[in-house]
Structure 1
Amino acid sequence: MAAREYGQYCGVTRALELIGERWALLLVRDLLVGPRRYGELAAGLPRIPTNVLAARLKELQAAGIVRRAPRSRVIVYELTPYGRELEPVVLALGAWGFKAMGDPRAEQVVTPDSMTMALRTAFRPDAAALLPATAYAARIGPAALLVRVDGAALTVGRGDGPADLAFTAGPGIRQVISGEVTPGHAIDTGVVEVLHGRPDLLDRFAATFHLAA
């Protein structure tokens, strides 16, 4: 377990002792997307020192949150069932933090896993269930994602593929998700560039993925 102890007998205290060390919850965030090799975890958190990455993984394993598993002759890290119970906590924290994000700083990056979890956080299954199935090829910064919405089901994967709407955007896509700018205005001002497909489908995207700022 993590070295820090707070000396209180409390569930919140215990949770912080297990996942409250720096970088721990971001490792959980990325592993909620899927199993990752050590190098993939390091690449997804460019600023994490290698000694800290190794220490956090050991602590999360000792706590029963993460485990090592063989996959196609390589070792990957994955969440245990106990670790996966953190998903609603991570999604709720993402929604809460979204309100205070503001504009991105120059040194801040978007990663495929962070954007995947952002979309999962913003997903509105109640609204999506009323809309036709739609596939989006979204390139947001360096993150290329294929986003499929079919009723109340959402799947997000890396890479390109057949899509009803393909678009590229920077971190300003936050303004579309928050409703600060309309999809039409986002296209007109270059916040979003439609690569192919019907531009009006960005309205459907905004209805499907929404978080109030």
Structure 2
Amino acid sequence: MFKPAATLIKRCLALSGVAVLTLSLNACSPDQPTLPFKGSDITGSHLGKDLDMVDTAGQPRSLKDYKGKVVVGFFGFTQCPDICPTAMTQLAQAIDLLGPDASKTQVLMITVDPARDTPNVLKDYVQIFHDDFDGLTGSEAQLAKTAKSFKAFYARAPGAKPGQYTMDHSSSFYIIDPQGEARSLLRGDATPEELAHDIRLVLPNP
């Protein structure tokens, strides 16, 4: 389903296509108020509904397990050289900006490289950035199902040396409200302030 990209241009076009497709899903539900998100309003898209992975404790996880909290999802992998560490740092700063409301939010890094990112490896990685962050891994089939649910792109690409590989992947942030509904999609270069702003808009009522 997810084939290795042949060239950088092809990979970039694929990522752009995913963004366009996702943005085309903007369809506000009559049951949800329109909110002034900094990201794209994806209310009514139901992105992520079929999340089916394993957390860093080895426990199966779906969105229903996080009901009552705002979920911030990001696709990445632990051997990512620059994009993922930057994104995780942005997320950690955003969580710090939330102050007491940080406890009402769960950041999840969904690995696109489950072969190397075992639960223990993923746990050690995400907790470098914040003690309360968690990671999700699983089988290739689980990843394919979950990525499809989020309309997220990923593909294996050749590494610098024979036998090595890296991963190309979408770099957006998904914000899901406490009822498990996708609400905002922010670009990978969103600032901590923008992330915190959109999280606050969907925080559970006191």
Report the TM-score when normalising by structure 2: 0.27
Higher helix share goes to which structure?
1
- Higher CA-based Rg: 1
